[in-house]
Amino acid sequence: MRIEPTDLADVLVLTPEPFRDDRGLFTRTFDAVEFDVYLDAPGTAATFVQDSQSRSVRGVIRGMHGRSGPGEAKLVRCAHGAVHDVLIDIRPQSPTFGRRQAFLLDDIDFRHLYVPPGFLHGFQALTDVADVCYRIDRPHDPAQNIGVAYNDPDLAIDWPQPVTVVSARDAAAGSWRELLATLPRTER
């Protein structure tokens, strides 16, 4: 498995190396030992306590979601189909605060993301069906849900396909400016 940094501080791309033959393929989607060695943080992988999966149809956008308080770290991958995945750093002390980066996650390269606490996350399904899997490091607490509208003009996210469906929660999400007003003030 290759583990590489991204343009966003502390975000990693993990790329498995599938074995392919006439039967199809076999791949390890996560290796706790390699992950912990890369981070030089033994036991970090063992903190993942929850696995979740979503299924979306082409054009669906889920996001932009985050957590207040301690937040949550997660591994995100697309097990079936493809998604345009977007992360935005909302950690005021981070050198990449306010920056965003998009990634193609699919069932061909099996690339997935390590997202530390303090990011907004969202994606758009690029295929007829897209299954996204999340491995999360703490139980979900709905009271900590935060979000920004997927079409916020200040973020100006370039979604690659026409939007087909958005949840009522995502459609009613606040603005980037409203979220900024709630974040702790620090020297940037």
**Which positions are annotated as active-site residues?**
65, 134
Gyration radius of the chain over CA positions = 16
Task: Name the phi and psi angles at 38, rounded to 5.
Answer: -60, -45
Beta strands in the chain (DSSP E): 2-5, 12-15, 19-21, 24-26, 50-57, 61-67, 74-80, 82-89, 100-106, 112-115, 119-125, 129-136, 145-147
Q: How far apart are CA 22 and CA 24, in angstroms?
A: 6
Q: Counting runs of H as helices and runs of E as strands, what totals does the chain give?
A: 3, 13
- Neighbouring CB atoms inside 10 A of 15's CB total 14
